[in-house]
Structure 1
Amino acid sequence: MARIGRPGLSDEQKREVWRRWRDGQSLSEIGRVLGKVPGSIHGVVAANGGFVPAARTRSAGVLSLAEREEISRGLAAGDSFRAIAGRLGRAPSTVSREVGRHGGREEYRAARADEGAWGNARRPKSCLLQQSPALRDTVAGKLKEDWSPRQIAGWLARTFAPEDGMYVSHETIYKSLFIQARGVLKKELVSHLRRRRTMRRSKNASTAGQQRGCIRDAVSIRERPAEAEDRAVPGHWEGDLITGSKNSHIATLVERHSRYVMLVRVAGKDTISVISALSHQVRY
């Protein structure tokens, strides 16, 4: 069955997104490097509130892929769980549970079992605000009064004793606001923050040197010749770009003397797409 919509990002591409986001690059810059539209990059970053996820590592006590391959070979040879466990230096119950979780003797495959175990290990961890309704309600109340997360964290530390359990860092409050999948604080509370951001930006992020909203090597409209200004001489064209819904764009060309108009549908609003479409329209 054919896939609908734009293809997603691979795990390697997502790691590259987070590396560049941590370095302070914008969504557009990351998209250009990966050949993706900024909206695709925004979807990955916004899903985690702009917070760079921690690198996942395997616990030293879990079975490795090499051990699972040894289990698979032992099962194929008809060895008992105890014999396989003896070669691995593991308890027989560990091998028995591993095989039972991943299809039994007949269906067990090392690669599939390792992939399944890696996926099952991704368990959501509850934060302090989830564990304590009283703390959550207090934080939400202070946010409604336009307190900043840092002010709230400082006030809690001064007001309550450590044994009361009424403590939380400002980072946890930000994460609970920006990562709505946690379901801890209502999204409406974001509007009470002093900065209207909806996700965390890198400390290295800066717009210095970025030509946002500007046309590179642009020539001011004031510099066009007088003959184009008074529309007396044919042959002078004026272009513009109209953006519609669902990322649709139409370029317009207007001959200033006759007011003849050409409309050209373009695939994107980037320079290459617009120039290529206009050049083709003018030639043909």
Structure 2
Amino acid sequence: MPGGRLSQQERQQISAGLADGLAYAEIARSLGRPTSTVTREVMRNGGPAAYRAETAHRATERRAHRRRRSPAGAPAAAPDAYGRDPEAVRGFEESFTTSFVESGLPQMMSRILACLYVSDSGGMTAAELVRRLQVSPASVSKSIAFLERQALVRRERQDNRRERYVVDLDLWYQSMLASARANDRIVAVAREGAQVMGADTPAGQRLESVARFMDHVTHDLIRSTLQWRSVLFPDEPQS
């Protein structure tokens, strides 16, 4: 049923599609499902190499059972301060995670990044991430280090308290500029390659075309990033 939970038969079709080397989009079309649904299903159940239909189905049933079950004596979950539907928020967080995975970010880093963005404070401590995502402290530490190198999160310490990991507009802006700088390096190397291969040879012409394309696109990206940052967030300092 499109829009509902995946059935065991659908999971078997996903498993068969992965075994045949089909792309997520092809599998999704055969099921009449969004590509994001298939991607999320596979990535939360071991990835394309380890996905097994029976295992994924049992894991989903266990997760559903845990959500339904309310342990005796356990405190009730605090109501959302803005009256949001927890299931809708959880579903969006999974979709947001999937969008990061599809862009090339590893699964755990994607989960942490999505978790930080959907938190109203925009930041969480390592302990809070461990509890929220039910993962090990080592996984959080390793993932945060990766995200920091990509300029996607930053650490902050307030009033001598423990560190919090934060996401904000400036990080996204800096990440876009870092991506542009990486493109500049590709341009320079491609142009060097064009000279090495010979400007009049097919390989040299191809490399020069790549360099010209990347150069124009990168400068358009930088110009657009600067323009829209100043328009949408005029009070933010420009760098």
Structure number with the bigger relative contact order (C-alpha 8 A, sep ≥ 6) is: 1
Q: Which has the larger radius of gyration?
A: 1
TM-score range, shorter chain: under 0.3
